[in-house]
Structure 1
Amino acid sequence: MPPTVSKVSKVLDDSQRFGDAPVEVRETDHYQQEYIEDFADRWDALIDWEARAEAEGDFFIRQLRDRGVRSVLDVATGTGFHSVRLLEEGFDVVSADGSPNMLAKAFRNARDRDLLLRTAQADWRFLNRDIHGEFDAVICLGNSFTHLFKERDRRKALAEYYAVLRHNGVLILDHRNYDRLLEGGAAVRSGRSGVYCGKNVEVGPEHVDDGLARFRYAFPDGSAYHLNMFPLRRGYVRRLMREVGFQKINTYGDFVSSHDDPDFYVHIAEKAYRFETDLTEI
């Protein structure tokens, strides 16, 4: 006899929560267990593509076009939102993700829009092993970089992004405003960032410390899922980018250069070598 819906939800929740002490499970390699098939299938209810597209406007498209970008490696494709948008705008896109469930969902989303994604399952720390060629831009969006819990892994991933870029390439990477969260502020405000636009989906932290931000995603049918993320501070990310070799870093808050207290930060890091007198940072 098949299990009831409540039993199915409980089984899924248990497999995704890592047992009775989930806060003790912080390591990078568990993200594939977090993005179980059922959670991946629900992810678009959390995102709401149309609302997110309206909130972002042409910010990313403009940033890429202003830098003459034609080819883009989307290293955190998720369910395909940015890959699909860029394909529709005429960019040459390769879509990568560490989660096979997310890639399968992204491929279906693109196919439903009469587009064909070129997908690859890839670990950021060994990106150049799995992805061949060079790109004008690498994008790592949707708060994805926070899945890396060790500094050596973050440095390795940034170095891999740097290596796969052409000499004048650009990296675009975003993350939550964890500075505010660590200092006791609200985790999610009015939705200015446009990242989580889904209706009737509750998103919030269950636990926060200097080494872990554990978020809960609750859906109207009573199901709930969790993600463990490392709380990246704005200044720390900029420092790592500089130390890896990126020359100029512009940081935006909710797509505005002067926003003091955003929901999300977007870092745009340029690889092109600049003489010291030419270096400027915002």
Structure 2
Amino acid sequence: AGARRVLDVGCASGGHAAALAREGFDVTGIDPSPVFIAEARSRPHLPGSVRFEASGLEDWASRDDAGVFDGIICLGQTFPHLVLLRPLAEALRSLASLLREGGLLIIQMINPGAIEKRGLWTPPIRSWDDEGAHVTVMRQWIDRGESLQMVLTRVSLRDGKGEGKSWDHHVPKVRAPVLRQTLALGGWKEITLASGWGGEPFHEQDSETLILTAQRG
């Protein structure tokens, strides 16, 4: 009875975790960045069913409540960052240890095959209003051989004054066929690949986004 328990790994500033909590889920968001966790906790009108902890994946997997979550989400570039720190199979075992049997894993990330085909990809520019400021964010993905480079630029306009910053990072290429095979070898079930949240078909050379779901065996 009650809301199902969901873990948001790499929750950043907590937007997805808060949204799930408003839908009735009992959500825990973890991120190794204390800055992100402070931002998440300071969100206005947070539901009581969401909490945020400054923690890495391994730290959380060693806690007493490992294996109790009904679902785990790894959105944005969380999963490639997990693979940057450990082998792919090890990252998946850590996630599996946090799920109950039959629990659902959702991974959403950039598809390296599409970036390799193009060399450079600029997703649509995003803009929104945030507490009196107008925020614009632009991303660029660049193929760097063994890795992908993301360049992110954020501009905030408030009272006629602008403030901008830009930064970049590199993530390893996590390829869909290898990820699917590693999941299957690890005993995961019902593995599905899509290119959008509506279940659109995934094509390794053309789909910019990979959305993967799998159930713990």
- When normalised by structure 1's length, the TM-score is 0.63
For residue 23 of structure 2, what is the amino acid of its counterpart?
A: E
User: Which of these residues, 104, 108, 115, is aligned with residue 47 of structure 2?
Assistant: 115
| Cα distance between partner residues in 2 of 1:163 and 1:244 | 12
Q: Which stretch shifts more, 241-250 or 112-121? A: 112-121
1:75-224 paired onto structure 2 within 5 Å: 75-109=9-43, 112-116=44-48, 117-130=50-63, 132-133=65-66, 134-150=68-84, 152-190=86-124, 200-205=136-141, 207-220=142-155, 221-224=163-166
| Cα distance between partner residues in 2 of 1:164 and 1:226 | 31
1:202-281 paired onto structure 2 within 5 Å: 202-205=138-141, 207-220=142-155, 221-255=163-197, 256-260=199-203, 261-272=206-217
Q: CA deviation at 1:184?
A: 2.7
**What RMSD, in angstroms, separates the aligned Cα atoms of the two structures?**
2.5
SS in 2 for 1:127: helix
1:23-34 paired onto structure 2 within 5 Å: none
CA offset digits 1:59-89 (Å, max 9, x no partner)? xxxxxxxxx9811111121111111111001
Gaps of 5+ in 2: 129-134, 156-162
Q: Is contact 2:9-2:31 (8 Å) kept?
A: yes
Q: CA deviation at 1:143?
A: 2.1
CA offset digits 1:127-178 (Å, max 9, x no partner)? 3124624111111111211113558433222101111111111111111021
Q: Is contact 1:78-1:97 (8 Å) kept?
A: yes
CA offset digits 1:217-243 (Å, max 9, x no partner)? 113334211122112222122122222
Give the structure with the higher percent helix: 1
| Cα distance between partner residues in 2 of 1:213 and 1:76 | 19
Q: 1:54 — aligned with what?
A: none
Aligned length: 198
Q: Is contact 1:171-1:269 (8 Å) kept?
A: yes
Q: Is contact 1:149-1:230 (8 Å) kept?
A: yes
Q: 2:132 — aligned with what?
A: none
Q: Which stretch shifts more, 81-90 or 129-138? A: 129-138
CA offset digits 1:214-272 (Å, max 9, x no partner)? 21111333421112211222212212222222122011102233243332111000114
- When normalised by structure 2's length, the TM-score is 0.80
Q: Which stretch shifts more, 226-235 or 164-173? A: 226-235
For residue 235 of structure 1, what is the amino acid of its counterpart?
A: P
| Cα distance between partner residues in 2 of 1:188 and 1:197 | 15
Give the structure with the higher percent strand: 2
| Cα distance between partner residues in 1 of 2:122 and 2:182 | 25
SS in 1 for 2:200: coil
Q: CA deviation at 1:180?
A: 0.8
| Cα distance between partner residues in 2 of 1:169 and 1:204 | 34
